[in-house]
Amino acid sequence: FDCPNFVDCPNFVSVLSQVDCPNFVDCPNFVSVLSQVDCPNFVSVLSQVNSSHLYVCGSFAFSPHDAFIDAESFSLVGLVDAKAKLRCPFSPLQRNSALTVDGELFTASTTDFRGERAQISRHFSRGGQDVSQDTSIALLQEPAFVGSAAVDRKLFFFFTEVGKEFSFVDELRIARVAQVCKDDVGGQRTLQNKWTSFAKAPLLCQVPKQLPFNVLQHVFTLPPPEGASSSETRFYGVFTSQWSSGAESAVCVFTLQDVQAVFNGSYRTFDTQTHLWSSLLGTHSHLGQCGLDSATDSELSQVKKSFLTSGSVKSAGAPLVSSDHRYSRVAAMRTKALNGKQYTVLFLLTESGFLHKVVLLAGGPRVIEEIQVFTQPQIVKSIILSSSK
């Protein structure tokens, strides 16, 4: 089964019209009909691992395969191994994120056919110490990953998931940022080859006295100005709301300094008997921290169940709210104007296929240009800024 995406595969609907029971398990003739589909693979990871090679991972008909590519000739060097299923999703409909740091690959992806098990993992580790998440407790709840970033010793993953810390009739979606330490090798006995530094925090994008924009669609990391501290790193996120049915969205910005403050603060702990969350009193030096490879078993036992922060990372400034456009992607850059002042410019993609160029001014954001990307408006799925242009 190699092309479940209606948008990317134009003949999919006509093929499915021949199928009388489109269920994978109950319909034996489904695979034979789908053999007529002509888009066999979706690449979901493409990352430069070193100066000479790229790493690629794709769905490969719901059976993920990966390979290295020679960057100069752009030819396949060879398949890697069976761990591809841990590095990219089975389905192209499931979002994932991946980045390479110092030749090591960090991925956030679902790892099973149904897309129910999610993992944040490190691969191709120096010394062979690959690390993944502990599975004895559900650290992630149906996450949809939208981005990742590496800053100093830490990696940050952005996603939306079901907020199990709340007991509502309807499932509440919550935007999150999770962190792990780049050099985390796991514990000596407890959490062997598992993250000891994993923690996650809510991202709050909200206009006062209104329901929050709680579904994160995309995140862009804007590095600090030249010569400034890494704490000046900013994360721009596009949000929508699970309660809104119209074309409404918001852009919020979060500073690395605020993210770090929340991860260095207080935490909630999960009771494995009652399956309820409660607040831990005070701060604990081993929660959300790096360098726990020599921590005691009792400390790591607490780390296993105390990975959710009590506080939320709040937007630095008022959200940029649009009631007319549903934005899907964002990119940001700093630029110097003719008056010599530095300004931040956002590039926002709408779901209808337009690009809005927005400058952030002291008096508020202003759209200075709208670009129709294609002659016939259509969905655009990604945006990358060219530093040279």
Q: Hunting for tokens 């003739």 — which residue is that? A: 29
- 272 neighbors 137 (Cβ within 8 angstroms): yes
Residues 236 and 338 in one domain: no
Residues 317 and 174 in one domain: yes
Single out the residue of 140, 52, 154 nearest to residue 99, CA to CA. 154
Say if 33 falls within a structural domain. yes
Say if 178 falls within a structural domain. yes
Say if 7 falls within a structural domain. no
Residues 300 and 339 in one domain: no
Q: Dmax of the chain from CA atoms?
A: 68
Residues 305 and 367 in one domain: no
Quick one: which H or E segment has residue 323?
none
Residues 233 and 126 in one domain: yes
Q: What is the CATH number of the domain that holds 283?
A: 2.130.10.10
Residues 288 and 318 in one domain: yes
Name which residue leads in pLDDT, 18 or 376. 376
Q: Which domain holds residue 339?
A: 325-389
Residues 26 and 128 in one domain: yes
Least confident of 169-183, 212-226, 258-272, 279-293: 279-293
Residues 258 and 335 in one domain: no
Single out the residue of 315, 318, 324 nearest to residue 367, CA to CA. 324
Most confident region among 35-39, 256-260, 280-284, 294-298 by mean pLDDT: 256-260
Whole-number Cα distances in Å, 92 to 25, 115, 147, 308:
19, 11, 16, 29
Residues 23 and 103 in one domain: yes
Last residue of a domain, one of 308, 324, 340: 324
Rounded Cα–Cα distance for residues 149 and 360 (Å) = 23
Residues 251 and 368 in one domain: no
Confidence grade of residue 165 (pLDDT, cut at 50, 70, 90): confident
Domain count, the chain: 2
Percent of the chain at pLDDT > 70 equals 89
pLDDT tens digit sequence for 293-349: 889 999 999 999 999 999 999 999 899 999 888 999 999 999 988 988 999 999 999
Confidence grade of residue 40 (pLDDT, cut at 50, 70, 90): low
Say if 5 falls within a structural domain. no
Last residue of a domain, one of 273, 291, 324: 324
Last residue of a domain, one of 300, 324, 348: 324
Say if 290 falls within a structural domain. yes
Say if 71 falls within a structural domain. yes
CA 224 to chain centre: 21
Rounded Cα–Cα distance for residues 167 and 88 (Å) = 32
Q: Hunting for tokens 């329901």 — which residue is that? A: 211
Which contacts of 268-271 are long-range, i.e. CB under 8 A and separated by 24 or more positions?
Answer: 268/165, 268/306, 268/308, 268/309, 268/310, 269/302, 269/305, 269/306, 270/137, 270/305, 270/306, 270/308, 271/305
Residues 275 and 376 in one domain: no
Rounded Cα–Cα distance for residues 152 and 158 (Å) = 17
Dihedral pair phi/psi, residue 77, rounded to 5°? -85, -35
- 293 neighbors 189 (Cβ within 8 angstroms): no
Residues 120 and 42 in one domain: yes
CA angle 290, 294, 298 (to 5 degrees): 95
Rounded Cα–Cα distance for residues 44 and 92 (Å) = 7
pLDDT value for 7: 41
